Structure 1
Amino acid sequence: MQARDAMRQGDELQPGQDPNRGRRKSRRRLVIALAVGTLLAVIFMAALLVPRLGVHRQGINEAATLTRLRRLNTLQNSYAASHPTKGFACQLPELKPATAAGDTYKPDEFLFATGSQNGYKFAITGCRTDSNGVVTQYQLTAVPL
């Protein structure tokens, strides 16, 4: 009986004490639990999506590589048309287009200098000549580095 009376005395409000104190504590705990749960959900989603970003980047590099191969093919056709006695080029630097004086934008400069771009090594292989020494066949390759 004395223990019960002691609890009742402890439950009594003291002067200046907030009657909603218990509710506020439980509400605060709920808010903290929700914040932690949300944070864990965000971390979980990030862990799922981060590996996909690498796949996305790979897709971008592959698309850029296909664009470069098409560009090189166009340059080959232009080169062969302007060099009828040589035919197609068998070296990448030969395909480097002439740029206008003062033109600082040279997107393929690195490609022609090193043969590499966007994580791929480009090459012209399989050059075959006809009986006159004119290159009539070539193969463009792009191999991942």
Structure 2
Amino acid sequence: MNIQTERKRHDEGFTLIELLIVMSIMLVLMTLAIPQLLKLRKTANETSALQSVRTIGQAELQYNSAYPANGFSCSLPQLGGTAGAAPTAQAAQLIDAGLAAGQKSGYTFAITNCTKVTINNQDMYTSYQITAVPQSIGKTGDAGFCADENNTIRKDPTGGTNCTQPIQ
């Protein structure tokens, strides 16, 4: 009976060495997986930023069509607005509220370099530039993106607004 009791006590759990081996294997696997996860997140943020620049560009064209006396919008909040109210030139409801706030998926968005002309005492914007830059270069994204009134999207591989490389 003494041998059976001792054998039962040894068969009930893992030894300290077995647990340490399993933990070290898990640590090695996590060391390999975490950088890949961060790279995938960064790529997803860049893809989202590129699509958001396209969305803002399309919203600009719709805004210009809906409010021809104003031309283009020079403000993200003008392209946004709250649902439930009627769209206006100050809140056109063409993009979602998150994008209209200028922050989405690790990127900061802005409309800059607007050219304004005055016709019949009415200000009209005839050109603009959309910019999307990573909030933390190397962490939330590597590239910056820009578009203009022609909807030509270019990128800056250094994460800034010096967009010279066309998007394929």
Same fold (TM over 0.5): yes
Using the size of structure 2 for normalisation, the TM-score is 0.56
> Radius of gyration: which is bigger?
1
1:90 & 1:144 partners in 2: Cα distance?
21
More strand by share: 2
* Aligned pairs (5 A) from 1:1-145: 37=21, 39-96=23-80, 99-100=83-84, 108-112=96-100, 114-130=101-117, 132=119, 133-145=123-135
More helix by share: 1
2:23 & 2:73 partners in 1: Cα distance?
58
Using the size of structure 1 for normalisation, the TM-score is 0.63
Structure 1 alignment gaps of length 5 or more: 1-15, 19-30, 102-106
Q: Report the alpha carbon displacement of residue 34 of structure 1 after superposing the two structures with TM.
A: 7.7
Q: How many pairs were matched up?
A: 120
- 4+ runs of 1 displaced by more than 6 Å? 31-35
SS in 1 for 2:50: helix
Q: Report the alpha carbon displacement of residue 45 of structure 1 after superposing the two structures with TM.
A: 2.1
Structure 2 alignment gaps of length 5 or more: 4-14, 86-94, 136-168
Instruction: Please tell me the residue identity of whatever aligns with 1:94.
Output: Q
CA RMSD between the two structures: 3.3
